[in-house]
Amino acid sequence: MSTAKTDKTQESGHPAEQDTRVRLLEAAGEVFAERGFHGVQIRDICALAGANIAAVNYHFKGKEGLYREVLKYAHHCAMAVEELQVAIPPNASAEQKLGVFVHTFFRSMLSGGRPSWNGKLLAREMIEPSAALDDLVMTEITPKFAMLRSIVAEMLGVAIEHPAVRWFGASVISQCLFWEHNKPVIQRLYPDLSYSDEQIRFIANHVVRTCTFAMVGARGKLDDYATWPESHR
């Protein structure tokens, strides 16, 4: 909505003047994740970042600009596709590949370098998609999902285009996302769950085992998946 008025801001990457800028980014990510875009007032962000109220307008041209930058920042810190590609040995068994995928997914989501607001921010984006979601799906999610599909297809013993692949792929992902997206309820249900690194490995192992059992059990019984009701009625 805001017409361009201050266009001559940081275009040329100056060396070390990004002090309050990144401080603002970190603080904003934390509170945006915690309370959502509308639930946050920039006065709080600036107080947390130790910056002046005018700083966010100076650096990001307003609250929305700040949010956009934060989102990019979060995506950039999230699990990168390249990280997966190098982590997965190309000539390993499908089950081993799945193990690497799931463990990497869990680690980057739940125990990554980012404090914790990374996943929350993305979860928020799932519920209330902003204009940035399309970009996110295309650049981040689709390539990762394609990788998973190839693994699943190998485990099921079918081609990657087989309709069953998408459903078993969803089974894998759903069991990963669950532990991040429903933390508040899960911690109330399981008070002894602290999301320590050990526990995360434990959970990831369970997911891998579960999916493996499901997929090897389903081999040769995938005919039902051909009769998918494309468009209803």
Partner DNA sequence: ACTTGATTGAAACAAGCGTTTGAACTCCTG
Partner DNA sequence: CAGGAGTTCAAACGCTTGTTTCAATCAAGT
Q: Please list, in sequence order, all residues whose beta carbon lies within 8 angstroms of the beta carbon of residue 16, skipping any fewer than 6 positions away.
A: none
- The residue (of 18 and 171) whose beta carbon lies closer to DNA is 18
Quick one: what does residue 165 bind among DNA, a second copy, none, with the CB cut-off 5 to 8 Å set by partner type? none
- The residue (of 131 and 185) whose beta carbon lies closer to DNA is 131
CA distance 33 to 180: 13
Q: Please list, in sequence order, all residues whose beta carbon lies within 8 angstroms of the beta carbon of residue 96, skipping any fewer than 6 positions away.
A: 89
Residues 179-198 that bind DNA (CB under 7 A): none
Binding flag, residue 71, DNA (CB under 7 A) = no
- Which tokens go with 39? 């639930």
CB 24 within 8 A of CB 66: yes
- Which tokens go with 96? 């081993």
Read out DSSP for 39-99? T--HHHHHHHHT--TTHHHHHHSSHHHHHHHHHHHHHHHS--HHHHHHHS-TTS-HHHHHH
Binding flag, residue 175, DNA (CB under 7 A) = no
- The residue (of 54 and 126) whose beta carbon lies closer to DNA is 54
- The residue (of 104 and 205) whose beta carbon lies closer to a second copy is 205
Q: Please list, in sequence order, all residues whose beta carbon lies within 8 angstroms of the beta carbon of residue 154, skipping any fewer than 6 positions away.
A: 94, 97
Binding flag, residue 223, a second copy (CB under 8 A) = no
Binding flag, residue 43, DNA (CB under 7 A) = yes
What is the closest distance, in whole angstroms, from the C-beta atom of residue 15 to a second copy in the complex? 38
CA distance 106 to 110: 6
Quick one: what does residue 7 bind among DNA, a second copy, none, with the CB cut-off 5 to 8 Å set by partner type? none
Q: CA gyration radius for the chain?
A: 21
CB 204 within 8 A of CB 150: no
Among 27, 28, 31, 56, binds DNA (CB under 7 A): 56
CA distance 54 to 32: 18
Quick one: what does residue 222 bind among a second copy, DNA, none, with the CB cut-off 5 to 8 Å set by partner type? none
Binding flag, residue 115, a second copy (CB under 8 A) = no
Quick one: what does residue 14 bind among DNA, a second copy, none, with the CB cut-off 5 to 8 Å set by partner type? DNA
Which residues here bind a second copy, judged by CB under 8 A?
34-39, 120, 123-124, 126-129, 133-134, 137, 141-142, 145, 166-168, 170-171, 173-175, 177-179, 181-186, 188-190, 192, 194, 196-199, 202-203, 205-207, 209-211, 213-218, 224-225, 228-233
Which residues here bind DNA, judged by CB under 7 A?
2, 5, 8-10, 14, 17, 19-21, 40-43, 51-59, 62-64
